[in-house]
């Protein structure tokens, strides 16, 4: 792609590069103890001074938890902003975090669950959501599992940030696959000599609600992305749920559980709804760790 020196895209790339080299990278190189002090300041900024999507966050929380009082919603909002500030700084740290440090801070509890599939050279699929630190999960998952790992994603519109994010996410083994290349990816992995694990984030608002599977999620009529189930039924690859748990500030663990060993024979919608059900249970237990600032319910049936 040729970018004209005077095009808006050229200027956006220049600005992105400046932000990265003069702000993001220097922050990323700071020790975690210092980054969390920055996070404390960021929390004060985005909650009190320039509230970031506060109306969206509180509306989402009220609709998801209609029985909670105004005071409870207020407390959850504060907890969410604290987590959100940490998530931003932890995501910045991902640009420079070492293999040893990410393994110390994001640990897989049960990688052995995939060993039977490795022995059979069987590809598998994983569904999950934007809960806890999904960025660190992406950075380290390829290190800790006994098969090749990939993740379906939507590329960023800015070419510079897209390049940097791709490099950061892929540096320790994960391969990220643009959503437009999903069909080609599944054609490729069906004939590989080693098994592959492909991850889908399933809690985003679908681009085309008419093609979504509609169900109930957090007390609301919700369009659910159908890509995971569609590919599971087409390939009959076993489907797992990926769960991230926060142990304490800056430390997480993740585990996997089987949803279906025989997707093609499952009832239509079961896989999609089961992933959402398991994610919903996590959110209900500790709501502050989900991405409430996302406009999840912008589409109506």
241-266 pLDDT, tens digit per residue, is 999 999 999 999 999 999 999 999 99
CA distances from 9 to 16, 23, 24, 157, 236 (A): 10, 21, 20, 10, 42
Handedness of CA 181, 271, 134, 196 (dihedral sign): negative
Do residues 262 and 124 lie in contact, with contact meaning Cβ atoms separated by under 8 Å? no
pLDDT digits (tens, 9 = 90+) for 27-66: 999 999 999 999 999 999 999 999 999 999 999 999 999 9
Q: Using pLDDT thresholds of 50, 70 and 90, give the confidence band for residue 1.
A: very low
> Once rounded to an integer, what is the mean pLDDT over residues 124-152?
97
The pLDDT confidence band at residue 6, using thresholds 50, 70 and 90, is: low
What whole-number distance in Å separates Cα of residue 57 and Cα of residue 55?
Answer: 5
Residue 4 scores a pLDDT above 70? no
Kindly report the pTM of this predicted structure. Answer: 0.93
pLDDT on residue 234: 97
CA distance 169 to 136: 8
Spatial distance between the Cα atoms of 283 and 263, rounded to a whole number of angstroms:
25
Sequential DSSP letters for the chain: ----TTSHHHHHHHHHHHHIIIIIHHHHTS-HHHHHHHHHHHHHIIIIIS-SSHHHHHHHHHHH-TTS-HHHHHHHHHHHHHHHHHHHHHHHHTTT--HHHHHHHEEES-GGGGHHHHHTT--EEEEE-SBS-HHHHHHHHHHHSSSEEEEEEPPPSSHHHHHHHHHHHHTTS-EEEEGGGHHHHHHHHTT-SS-EEEEEE--SPPS-GGGSEEEEETTEEEEE--HHHHHHHHH---EEEEEEEEEETTEEEEEEEEEES-GGGSPTTHHHHHHHHHHHHHHHHSGGGB-TTS-TT----
In degrees, rounded to 5, the angle at the alpha carbon of residue 295 between the alpha carbons of residues 180 and 79 is: 120
Residue 71: CA atoms inside 13 Å, Cβ hemisphere, count?
Answer: 0
∠ CA 83-88-90, nearest 5°, is 90
For position 216, what pLDDT does the model report?
Answer: 96
Q: Taking Cα atoms as reference points, which of 263, 270, 152, 283 lies closest to residue 217? A: 283
Q: Average of pLDDT values for 91-114?
A: 97
Q: How far apart are CA 230 and CA 136, in angstroms?
A: 27
């Amino acid at each position: 792609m040729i970018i004209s020196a005077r095009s808006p895209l050229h200027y956006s790339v220049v600005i992105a590069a400046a932000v990265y080299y003069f702000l993001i990278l220097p922050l990323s190189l700071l020790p975690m103890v210092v980054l969390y002090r920055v996070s404390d300041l960021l929390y004060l900024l985005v909650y009190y001074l320039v509230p970031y999507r506060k109306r969206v966050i509180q509306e989402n929380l009220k609709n998801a938890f209609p029985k909670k009082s105004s005071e409870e919603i207020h407390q959850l909002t504060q907890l969410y902003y604290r987590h959100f500030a940490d998530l931003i700084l932890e995501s910045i740290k991902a640009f420079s975090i070492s293999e040893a440090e990410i393994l110390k801070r994001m640990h897989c509890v049960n990688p052995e669950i995939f060993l039977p599939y490795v022995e059979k050279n069987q590809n598998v699929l994983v569904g999950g959501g934007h809960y806890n630190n999904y960025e660190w999960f992406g950075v380290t998952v390829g290190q800790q599992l006994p098969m090749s790992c990939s993740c379906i994603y939507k590329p960023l519109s800015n070419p510079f940030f897209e390049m940097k994010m791709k490099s950061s996410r892929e540096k320790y083994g994960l391969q990220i696959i643009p959503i437009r290349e999903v069909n080609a990816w599944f054609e490729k992995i069906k004939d590989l000599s080693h098994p592959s694990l492909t991850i889908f984030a399933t809690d985003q608002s679908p681009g085309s609600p008419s093609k979504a599977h509609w169900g109930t999620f957090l007390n609301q009529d919700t369009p659910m992305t159908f890509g995971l189930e569609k590919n599971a039924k087409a390939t009959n690859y076993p489907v797992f749920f990926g769960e991230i748990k926060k142990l304490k500030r800056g430390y997480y663990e993740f585990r996997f559980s089987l949803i279906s060993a025989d997707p093609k024979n499952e009832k239509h919608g079961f896989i999609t709804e089961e992933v959402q059900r398991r994610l919903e249970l996590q959110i209900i237990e500790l709501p502050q760790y989900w991405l409430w600032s996302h406009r999840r319910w912008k589409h109506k049936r």
